[in-house]
Amino acid sequence: MFKSNQILTFVLATVFALPALAQENKTEEDKYIESDVISLVDRTGFTWQTPKGDFKLKPYMLVLTKGEFNYVDDEGLNIAEVDNVVKTGFGIPKAILGFAGRAFDKITYNFAIDAAASGNALLNQAWFDINMKDEFRLRVGKFKTPMNRAYQVRLGQSLLPVLPTSLTTSVNLPYSLNAVNPVMSTGFDIGVMAHGLLKDKWMYQVAIFNGTGIGVNKPTNTLSDDLGIPSLLYSGRLAYQPYGAMPLHEGDPEDVNSFKMSLAASASYNVEANYESSNDLRVGAEFAVMSNRFYFSSEAYLMSMDFVERQKVSPALTYYGAYAQAGYLFKSGVQPVVRMELMDRNSTDEDGILLMPAVGFNYFILGQNLKLQTMYQVLLKSGHVSDYEANDDDNGLSEHRFIVQLQFSF
């Protein structure tokens, strides 16, 4: 029988011997090894590979630690003794540990756990790609839905520490639903997606998901009473990239000598969403350009909620949002950033929009591995009929938001 110390010695020897199996020659399939968190291409420091190269594994980690200050304005809401300073202190937005790699030449995979999440969201991602060729790949599992460039960008390589508020804030409804009011993004979900790159210029993504988001890991849907089709999320995205595939980062110290551009359109239809209350149509348009150390991107998106017949509510409610942002990465590792966004949160049926300008800067301390991010965002209101309508529209949003975030990744 083996003793415990012998087993431990064997395990450690095996682990430390594995990197010796790694091959120095980079194969063409390496470009398919993705994490959606940080870039893994050409990172061989933590790579294990069989001598034949038919199996490869790259572990990765991303930890975000932040300090945040939020000030909310309760004026006009008639709430007694409410705190104006909320959600202030320290937090860990993400603590992701994952593995990505290749198996049997044609299959690449990614699996990630987010220890900062809870419940079903603890499983951040779990998918594999069957890579027939550049023009056709098939992804199955839990992964990002093909909507909004802000979501397509890797988590650890974004200009600002948080996504645009207009993408992640729930809209205001004049009705009471059995679920939380929806947001304009679709985020992570479980499904199947066909995707590929045509002629090194056209990237397409066509997918079907549960439509229940990152917090549900099992099928829960039915057939639509109104449409007679499965109550799922049908989505697609088409991007034109005339200078080759657009990187999924918004500033990378190791990628400052290229010119890339992307024009994209996306659409999704979530049948009987929000506990079978409405059919949600989302459409979006994107533009992004990277020129050496300069990065710019902008998006506009719209969501139309068409309530199902048994809700006896009409007509549909329409919401929209947009943002534009830019950053420049200096040789010192400092990257100043500006972003302007707007949101029609109370629907086009009501007057008034929310404006959310933000400024920030990033400091790449150790290349990509250690990154400091700061952001200050203010909330402005325009076009509302009355102060009451304006205060009701921004209810729950911070008038002033300041974030300092330190990121470590490998």
Instruction: pLDDT band for 16, please (50, 70, 90 cuts).
Output: very low
142 vs 122, 125, 146, 187, CA distance in Å?
Answer: 12, 5, 12, 11
> Looking at residue 73, what is its pLDDT?
79
Residue-wise pLDDT tens digits, 263-306:
999 999 999 998 888 999 999 999 999 999 999 999 999 999 99
Structural domains of the chain ordered from first start: 4-409 (2.40.160.10)
Are 169 and 382 in contact, with CB atoms under 8 Å apart? no
- Is residue 4 scored above 50 in pLDDT? no
Instruction: pLDDT band for 13, please (50, 70, 90 cuts).
Output: very low
> Looking at residue 177, what is its pLDDT?
61
Instruction: pLDDT band for 27, please (50, 70, 90 cuts).
Output: low
Q: Among 24, 17, 14, which residue's Cα sits nearest to residue 53? A: 24
> Looking at residue 287, what is its pLDDT?
98
| CA–CA dist 283, 132 (Å, integer) | 29
Q: Report the 10 Å Cβ neighbour count for 177.
A: 17
> Looking at residue 93, what is its pLDDT?
95
Instruction: pLDDT band for 51, please (50, 70, 90 cuts).
Output: confident
Q: The pTM is what?
A: 0.88
Q: Which residue has the higher pLDDT, 364 or 19?
A: 364
> Looking at residue 75, what is its pLDDT?
57
> Looking at residue 376, what is its pLDDT?
98
- Is residue 262 scored above 50 in pLDDT? yes
Residue 183 has which token pair? 């947001």
pLDDT (mean) for 240-269:
94
Q: Which residue has the higher pLDDT, 248 or 76?
A: 248
Q: Which residue has the higher pLDDT, 363 or 44?
A: 363
With tokens 């020129």, the residue in question is 291
C-alpha gyration radius of the chain:
23
Residue 188: partners with Cβ closer than 8 Å, 6 or more residues away: 124, 125, 142, 143, 144, 145, 213, 214
- Is residue 19 scored above 70 in pLDDT? no
Instruction: pLDDT band for 66, please (50, 70, 90 cuts).
Output: very high
Residue 122: partners with Cβ closer than 8 Å, 6 or more residues away: 113, 114, 115
- Is residue 3 scored above 70 in pLDDT? no
> Looking at residue 47, what is its pLDDT?
81
The DSSP H or E segment spanning 107 is: strand 107-114
Residue 287 has which token pair? 């533009």
Residue 212 has which token pair? 């229940």
> Looking at residue 141, what is its pLDDT?
97
Are 224 and 271 in contact, with CB atoms under 8 Å apart? yes
| CA–CA dist 34, 189 (Å, integer) | 17
Share of the chain above pLDDT 70, in %: 88
| CA–CA dist 358, 291 (Å, integer) | 22
Q: Look over the chain and give the mean of its residue pLDDT values, rounded to a whole number.
A: 88
Least confident of 36-40, 175-179, 343-347: 175-179
| CA–CA dist 95, 62 (Å, integer) | 6
Are 185 and 147 in contact, with CB atoms under 8 Å apart? yes
> Looking at residue 8, what is its pLDDT?
42
- Is residue 209 scored above 90 in pLDDT? yes
Helix, strand and coil percent figures for the chain, each rounded to 5: 15, 45, 40
pLDDT (mean) for 62-81:
78
> Looking at residue 179, what is its pLDDT?
60
Instruction: pLDDT band for 404, please (50, 70, 90 cuts).
Output: very high
Residue 28: partners with Cβ closer than 8 Å, 6 or more residues away: none
Share of the chain above pLDDT 90, in %: 68
Q: Alpha helices of 160-286 — where are they, by DSSP H?
A: 165-168, 273-276
Instruction: pLDDT band for 388, please (50, 70, 90 cuts).
Output: confident
Residue 205 has which token pair? 């993504």
